[in-house]
Amino acid sequence: AQRVTQPEKLLSVFKGAPVELKCNYSYSGSPELFWYVQYSRQRLQLLLRHISRESIKGFTADLNKGETSFHLKKPFAQEEDSAMYYCALSVGTGNQFYFGTGTSLTVIP
């Protein structure tokens, strides 16, 4: 069965420090993975998807099929990065997504 695990519910880092939000998945097929973010009082929105191989707001994520992971990284955290981050896996045809339970990131000034 498909599953997405985000082991950290809460993560705090100091401004300027590196940050890594962990995401592991289980899926027997070829996965497509995403990171969604929800800033305070805003809607859930796409941050990045692995297939694009983009860096958005300084964040990157690499799909590691061997470790079944898709960790989100940023070398220097900013206060505006404080938000709730969700890792998501899409399977099959259409738009069926499995979300992790989310990690709340707080960047301490």
Partner 1 sequence: KAGVTQTPRYLIKTRGQQVTLSCSPISGHRSVSWYQQTPGQGLQFLFEYFSETQRNKGNFPGRFSGRQFSNSRSEMNVSTLELGDSALYLCASSWGTASKETQYFGPGTRLLVL
- Cβ proximity to partner 1: between 15 and 84 the closer is 84
Q: What radius of gyration do the chain's Cα atoms show?
A: 13
Interface contacts to partner 1, rule CB under 8 A = 32, 36, 43-46, 49, 86, 90, 92-102
Query: Cα angle at 34 between 28 and 38, to 5 degrees?
Result: 140
Q: Tell me which residue of 60, 81, 102, 85 sits closest to 15, measured CA to CA.
A: 81
- Cβ proximity to partner 1: between 34 and 77 the closer is 34
The sheet with strand 60-61 has its strands ordered as 19-21, 72-74, 60-61
In the complex, minimum distance from the CB of residue 18 to partner 1, in angstroms, rounded to a whole number? 26
For residue 88, count CB atoms less than 10 angstroms from its CB and return exposed for 0-12, middle for 13-18, buried for 19 or more. Answer: buried
- Cβ proximity to partner 1: between 77 and 105 the closer is 105
- Cβ proximity to partner 1: between 70 and 77 the closer is 70
In the complex, minimum distance from the CB of residue 23 to partner 1, in angstroms, rounded to a whole number? 13
In the complex, minimum distance from the CB of residue 104 to partner 1, in angstroms, rounded to a whole number? 12
In the complex, minimum distance from the CB of residue 101 to partner 1, in angstroms, rounded to a whole number? 4
Task: Answer for the pair 31, 51: CB distance below 8 angstroms, yes or no.
Answer: no
